[in-house]
Structure formats: structure tokens, C-alpha cells
């Protein structure tokens, strides 16, 4: 019996993709095997994270890396590292930053709900630029000089949210930041694939980059990756790992934590609540190998065939289907279904509501409902679910 049914729940058809709300990406067999294997033995977590550090560094072309409890946790830990470094007093004080720089500069147009992750470390934002294009009051994006003008004695660093069309250019912003001795932390949580971004984003020189482990990498949903400068990763690790040891015995791997930089052993840090289990670290590393090696490309034809079969099933329905080709060859296509709201008798929101309320419950992408469009992301579907999905869509759209 389904574990969820035994809890009184009805499993859904997830046509939305890797979203956190619905449980994230499907983990491949090899990832699940790693999770199970890791549960049968024990290793000190700092040694495991040091091994992860090596593997992440290799996969991302950075000096060091850490497995975190999601990209949001990576942003909190990365910010904590920027604020406190290896200063034990500051590590102890966070999230209170009295007496040391704690301002993070961020473009208004890049602000979003994940900003809590940065603020939770104790940072305060200094906003620059405007969102003039969205407010229909201008034509320009945030510009480099605006960041430069905002730098002051309390500036601790710069935060940047990466998107394919982000402005200003990240490499140019990093150059400016470094010329003023400031680090840049990048939210690249959902920027994979293209898998080239694993290396291309850190190659801009950004000091810290956060990726989700539970999206396209297809590790456990609760994992993420923080990668970048050894110095900052070391501080992030210190503030996340359990610190309940004696200084005389404490022997963390130097590649992850450089003990000689510290004049004592810190207490549990700000990130202690973001702990990652050994099983999750092991599973994420296997998923990262699969993702980085291109192993997931094999599945693209199967995912495409799901979309084709839905288009065929809806040929007579009150809708227009359009397959949206992916922006990079290692990404999968999406299906957009424009609802003929007049013929169906209600709007796309209502169609979406009815799909969720039906049996089995069906969740389609809801980012374009205001335009009357349902989006199907095939990543979390199998063949049987695709048939059920097509038949539920046909019922609601006929
Ligand atoms: C998904 C996402 C996050 C959070 O990632 P988690 O791994 O779920 O913590 C942060 N920022 C952006 C832009 C995202 O898309």
C-alpha cells in the first residue's frame, strides 16, 4: 500500500515539475540506493562534508563546497559566512550584527520571497535600482554605478539573483565588488539545467553560489549546494555543523575547516538548525554526479513523448496546445495549454481548481493562469500518470 494512502492521503499527479510545495524532483534509483546505503553505516559529518567539498569543487570549478539544507539554507549560511568570517565573537553574535558591517546591497528588481534567507543571518538590505520596466515607468534595468554609489563603511557584500536575463552582468558586478574588497553571493537555485551553469556561474568570480539539490539535480528535496571561496565555505561549515566536541579532540579536515585560523572551538552556530543528514549528503553527491555527467539526457525523449501524447489526446478539446522548446538542449520541453474559456464555460483558474479537486488530484503549472494557460511539466510523470493526466484534462476541457 502507498505510504501516503496509509496516512489517509491521496497521491497526486504532479504535472508541475520540481516545485517544493509538491515534494520536488523524482530521485533516480541510484540516488535512492545511496540514501539507503548511507543509512547503514556511520561517519563523522565533518569528514563527509569534506568529501562533499572535494566533489562539489570539482563539479563547479570552485575551491570548495558544502551540502546544505536547500538553496535557501545555503543563502543564509553564505550570508552568515560573509558577516562573521572566522571571527568567533561574530559567529556567536549572529543574527545580531552590532559593531560590524552587515549591509548587503541588492537590486530592487531582484528582490523576492527568498530574501528572508539572507536577512535571517542578520543582514540588512540596501536596495539599488528600480523596477521601472514592470512599473511601466521607464526602460532601464539596474546599473553598475548604482551598486558602487551604495557602497559604504557598513557594506558587507552584494547579493545577486541569477536568471538567464539578469542585469547587470554578473562578472562585471563581481569585478566592481572585488575592487572594493567585497564578496558577492549569488542565488542560482533554479538555474540548472543548462548543466553548463554549474561551472559558468561560479566562473564569473562570484564568491558564493547557491544551487538547489532537489530541483533538476534530483537529489533529496531538502538539499542544496553552496560553493565558492574556501575561506567563506569554511566559515559556513563552521556555522552549520554540530560543534559539541572538545577543542583537544576536535580535528576537522583542513580542506573544509582550517582550525589554525581559529582561537577556539565555536558553539553551535546560526546554521545548526539547517543540519543535513549523512544519507542526504550521500544521495545528493550521487545525484550531482548523474546530473553533471549528462546521464539525465537519456530521459528527454521519454519526457517529450508524454507531451506529444497529451497533445494528441486533446486534439478535439476546447484548447490550443503549444509545446515550448527548451532554451538549452539538456532541458526538457513544456506543454502550454491555452484554455478556450468561452467554450469551456469558466476560466483557467477554475479548470486548475477542478483538476486539483478531482480524483486523482492533478496539479498543473499555475504560473500562466492569468493568461488562461495551463502548463504541463513532464519531469515528475510516468506513462500511467500521463494517461490519467490526459484523460482528466480532456474531461475538463471538453
Ligand atoms: C527554489 C528557489 C530557492 C530555494 O531553493 P531550495 O533548494 O528549495 O531551498 C531560492 N531561490 C530561488 C530563485 C529559487 O527558485
Atom of ligand 1 nearest to the CA of 214: 7
| pLDDT score, position 69 | 98
Atom of ligand 1 nearest to the CA of 161: 13
Q: Are 253 and 229 in contact (CB under 8 A)?
A: no
Q: How far is CA 341 from CA 324, 348, 355, in A?
A: 21, 7, 15
Helix axes 300-313, 383-396, angle to 10 degrees: 30
Q: Is 168 in the pocket of ligand 1 (CB under 6 A)?
A: no
Element (H, E) at 184: strand 184-187
Q: Is 378 in the pocket of ligand 1 (CB under 6 A)?
A: no
Tell me the pLDDT of the chain averaged across its residues: 97
Q: Is 68 in the pocket of ligand 1 (CB under 6 A)?
A: no
Chain position carrying cell 539507503: 36
| pLDDT score, position 150 | 98
Q: Is 72 in the pocket of ligand 1 (CB under 6 A)?
A: yes
Q: Of 176, 227, 174, 232, nearest to 205 (Cα)?
A: 174
Give per-residue pLDDT as tens, 45-71.
999 999 999 999 999 999 999 999 999
Measuring from atom 2 of ligand 1, which residue has the nearest CA? Answer: 189
Band (225; pLDDT cuts 50, 70, 90): very high
Q: Is 71 in the pocket of ligand 1 (CB under 6 A)?
A: yes
Q: Is 115 in the pocket of ligand 1 (CB under 6 A)?
A: no
Band (130; pLDDT cuts 50, 70, 90): very high
Q: Is 49 in the pocket of ligand 1 (CB under 6 A)?
A: no
User: Does the structure show a pLDDT above 90 at 32?
Assistant: yes
Measuring from atom 15 of ligand 1, which residue has the nearest CA? Answer: 190
Neighbours of 376 (CB within 10 A): 26
Give per-residue pLDDT as tens, 172-183.
999 999 999 999
Sign for the CA dihedral angle at 87, 89, 92, 96 comes to negative
Looking at 61-151, list the stretches that DSSP marks H as alpha helix, in order from N- to C-terminal side: 71-84, 88-93, 115-119, 144-150
Give residue 224 CA to ligand 1 midpoint distance, Å. 9
How far apart CA 365 and CA 17 sit, in angstroms, is: 8
- Which residues have a Cβ under 8 Å from the Cβ of 311 and sit 6 or more positions away? 321, 323, 335
| pLDDT score, position 137 | 96
Calculate the CA dihedral of residues 281, 284, 286, 292 and round it to 10 degrees.
Answer: -140
Q: How far is CA 241 from CA 95, 168, 343, 359, 385, in A?
A: 17, 35, 58, 44, 40
Counting residues of the chain whose pLDDT is more than 90, the rounded percentage is 98
Judged by DSSP in three states, 144 sits in: helix
Q: What are the φ/ψ torsions at residue 136 (nearest 5 degrees)?
A: 55, 40
Measuring from atom 8 of ligand 1, which residue has the nearest CA? Answer: 70
Q: Which of 74-88, 233-247, 249-263 has the lowest mean pLDDT?
A: 249-263
Q: Is 114 in the pocket of ligand 1 (CB under 6 A)?
A: yes
Atom of ligand 1 nearest to the CA of 20: 8
Give residue 225 CA to ligand 1 midpoint distance, Å. 11
Give residue 108 CA to ligand 1 midpoint distance, Å. 18
Give residue 321 CA to ligand 1 midpoint distance, Å. 29
Q: Of 74, 225, 82, 69, nearest to 155 (Cα)?
A: 82
Give per-residue pLDDT as tens, 296-332.
999 999 999 999 999 999 999 999 999 999 999 999 9
User: Does the structure show a pLDDT above 90 at 261?
Assistant: no
Chain position carrying cell 513523448: 305
Atom of ligand 1 nearest to the CA of 75: 10
Band (260; pLDDT cuts 50, 70, 90): confident
Q: Which three cell numbers stand for residue 42?
A: 556511520
| pLDDT score, position 398 | 93
How far apart CA 301 and CA 387 sit, in angstroms, is: 17
Band (37; pLDDT cuts 50, 70, 90): very high
User: Does the structure show a pLDDT above 90 at 39?
Assistant: yes
Atom of ligand 1 nearest to the CA of 223: 7
Q: Is 212 in the pocket of ligand 1 (CB under 6 A)?
A: yes
What domains sit in the chain, N to C, each tagged with a CATH number?
3-21+296-397 (3.90.1150.110), 42-293 (3.40.640.10)
Q: Is 69 in the pocket of ligand 1 (CB under 6 A)?
A: no
Atom of ligand 1 nearest to the CA of 224: 7
Q: Output b/e per residue, 28-63; b: 16+ Cβ within 10 A.
A: beebeebbeebeeeeeebbebbbbbbebbbebbebb
Mean pLDDT in residue range 158-180 = 98
Report field, pTM of the whole predicted structure over 0.95? yes
Q: Is 20 in the pocket of ligand 1 (CB under 6 A)?
A: yes
Element (H, E) at 211: strand 208-212
User: Measured at the alpha carbon of residue 269, what is the angle toward residues 265 and 272, in degrees to the nearest 5?
Assistant: 120
Mean pLDDT in residue range 291-297 = 98
User: Does the structure show a pLDDT above 90 at 231?
Assistant: yes
User: Does the structure show a pLDDT above 90 at 87?
Assistant: yes
Q: Is 17 in the pocket of ligand 1 (CB under 6 A)?
A: no
How far apart CA 149 and CA 122 sit, in angstroms, is: 23
Band (259; pLDDT cuts 50, 70, 90): confident
Q: Is 23 in the pocket of ligand 1 (CB under 6 A)?
A: no
One-letter-per-residue 3-state SS of 212-237: ECCCCCCCCCCCEEEEECHHHHHHHH
Neighbours of 221 (CB within 10 A): 19
| pLDDT score, position 258 | 86
Beta-bridge mates of residue 227: 65, 209
Cis before 228? omega within 30: no
Amino acid at each position: 500500500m502507498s505510504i501516503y494512502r496509509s496516512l489517509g492521503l491521496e497521491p497526486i499527479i504532479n504535472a508541475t515539475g520540481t516545485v517544493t510545495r509538491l515534494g520536488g524532483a523524482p530521485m533516480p534509483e541510484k540516488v535512492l540506493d545511496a540514501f539507503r546505503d548511507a543509512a547503514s553505516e556511520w561517519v563523522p559529518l565533518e569528514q563527509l562534508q569534506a568529501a562533499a567539498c572535494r566533489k562539489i569543487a570539482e563539479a563547479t570549478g570552485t575551491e570548495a563546497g558544502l551540502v546544505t539544507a536547500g538553496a535557501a539554507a545555503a543563502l543564509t549560511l553564505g550570508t552568515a559566512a560573509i558577516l562573521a568570517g572566522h571571527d568567533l565573537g561574530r559567529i556567536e553574535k549572529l543574527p545580531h550584527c552590532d559593531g560590524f558591517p552587515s549591509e548587503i546591497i541588492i537590486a530592487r528588481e531582484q528582490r523576492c520571497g527568498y530574501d528572508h534567507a539572507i536577512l535571517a543571518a542578520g543582514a540588512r538590505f540596501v536596495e539599488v535600482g528600480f523596477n521601472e520596466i514592470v512599473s511601466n515607468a521607464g526602460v532601464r534595468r539596474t546599473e553598475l554605478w548604482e551598486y558602487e554609489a551604495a557602497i559604504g563603511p557598513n557594506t558587507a557584500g552584494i547579493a545577486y539573483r541569477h536568471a538567464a536575463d539578469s542585469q547587470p552582468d554578473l562578472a562585471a558586478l563581481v569585478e566592481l565588488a572585488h575592487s572594493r574588497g567585497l564578496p558577492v553571493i549569488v542565488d542560482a537555485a533554479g538555474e540548472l539545467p543548462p548543466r553548463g551553469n554549474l561551472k559558468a556561474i561560479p566562473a564569473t568570480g562570484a564568491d558564493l553560489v547557491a544551487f538547489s539539490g532537489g530541483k533538476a539535480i534530483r537529489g533529496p528535496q531538502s538539499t542544496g549546494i553552496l560553493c565558492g571561496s574556501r575561506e567563506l565555505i569554511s566559515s559556513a561549515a563552521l556555522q552549520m555543523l554540530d560543534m559539541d566536541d572538545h577543542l583537544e579532540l576536535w580535528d576537522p579536515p583542513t580542506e573544509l575547516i582550517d582550525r589554525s585560523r581559529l582561537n577556539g572551538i565555536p558553539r553551535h552556530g546560526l546554521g545548526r538548525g539547517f543540519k543535513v543528514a549523512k544519507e542526504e549528503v550521500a544521495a545528493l553527491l550521487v545525484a550531482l554526479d548523474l546530473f553533471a555527467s549528462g546521464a539525465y539526457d537519456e530521459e528527454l525523449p521519454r519526457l517529450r513523448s508524454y507531451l506529444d501524447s497529451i497533445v494528441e489526446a486533446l486534439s478535439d478539446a476546447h484548447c490550443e496546445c503549444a509545446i515550448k522548446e527548451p532554451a538549452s538542449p539538456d532541458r526538457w520541453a513544456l506543454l502550454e495549454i491555452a484554455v478556450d474559456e468561452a467554450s469551456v464555460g469558466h476560466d483557467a483558474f477554475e479548470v486548475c481548481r477542478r483538476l486539483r479537486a478531482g480524483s486523482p488530484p492533478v496539479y498543473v503549472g499555475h504560473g500562466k493562469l492569468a493568461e488562461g494557460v495551463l502548463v504541463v511539466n513532464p519531469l515528475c510523470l510516468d506513462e500511467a500518470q500521463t494517461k490519467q493526466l490526459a484523460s482528466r484534462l480532456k474531461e475538463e476541457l471538453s
